[in-house]
Amino acid sequence: MGEAARALNGELVELIDSIRRDKEQTIDHDNLDSVLRAGWDKDASSQAQAFVDEFTDYLKSQRDHIAALTIFFDQPFRRREITYDMIRQVLDKLKTDKPKLAPVRVWQAYAQLDNYKGQPISELTALVALIRRACGLDETLTNYDAVVRRNFQNWIMKHHSGGTDKFNEEQMDWLRMVRDHVANSIHIERDDLDMTPFDSQGGLGRMYQLFGAKMEPLLDELNEVLVA
């Protein structure tokens, strides 16, 4: 004990006390501050608006050159055709031409203007949501996966309320996997059914067993309704 105590000399004690004084915080519980005004800083909002305007102007300038933008702005009925690779093309072009308009920065600007708190799943799904917002498809910023889930729920309710046969539980499990795939990968192709997570459930063959000849039309329909 004596050997260990020798380290606690006057210089070390003074150093410890000095560090304590530097790091110590006093919290006043009696004289609390009160909020006088709450709201967006006008300059920050103006900067955010200028930022999203520049993003929208860029997209419009490329609408005749990039297939995905042509569809979003001029041919919305073809949104079911938009694939992962098509959105990737938009992202790559954006990063080359306007690196400052990275989706995460544009997202922050729209989130401020729309008072939106959510976060996107990925950079690509963020870009889809931003394009939808910029072209007026969504009135406020909305996560792409939330759009897909909402559309899926409406589609299921409509199907089950009609005169057609209701999906059984195993079919519903597969439809939910398709929904989640579209939410993450923008689009679903027939070949995707032999990839994760479908392959662990029997892949393309199992889905065909469950839905028969209706499988292909069903995939086409989901590609359309989930991105509506």
Render each residue's pLDDT in the chain as its tens digit; 228 residues: 777 777 777 667 777 766 666 555 555 555 565 555 544 455 788 999 999 999 999 999 999 999 999 999 999 889 999 999 999 999 999 999 999 999 999 999 999 999 999 899 899 999 999 999 999 999 999 999 999 999 999 999 998 887 778 999 999 999 999 999 999 999 999 999 999 999 999 999 999 999 999 999 999 999 999 998
Q: How far is residue 146 from each of residues 109, 142, 176, 216, 226, measured CA to CA in Å?
A: 19, 7, 14, 25, 10
Residue 117 has, within 13 A of its CA and on its CB side, a CA count of 0
Q: Report the C-alpha gap between 153 and 158 in whole angstroms.
A: 9
Nearest to 137 by CA among 67, 184, 185, 74: 74
What is the domain partition of the chain in residue ranges? 42-142, 146-225
Q: Which helix (H) or strand (E) holds 188?
A: none
Nearest to 132 by CA among 57, 72, 207: 72
CB 62 within 8 A of CB 94: no
Say which amino acid occupies 212: G
Q: Report the C-alpha gap between 3 and 72 in whole angstroms.
A: 77
Task: Please measure the distance between the N-terminal and C-terminal CA atoms of the chain and give it in whole angstroms.
Answer: 75
pTM (whole model) above 0.85: no
Helix axes 42-61, 123-134, angle to 10 degrees: 90
* pLDDT tens by residue, 85-134: 999 999 999 999 999 999 999 999 999 999 999 899 899 999 999 999 99
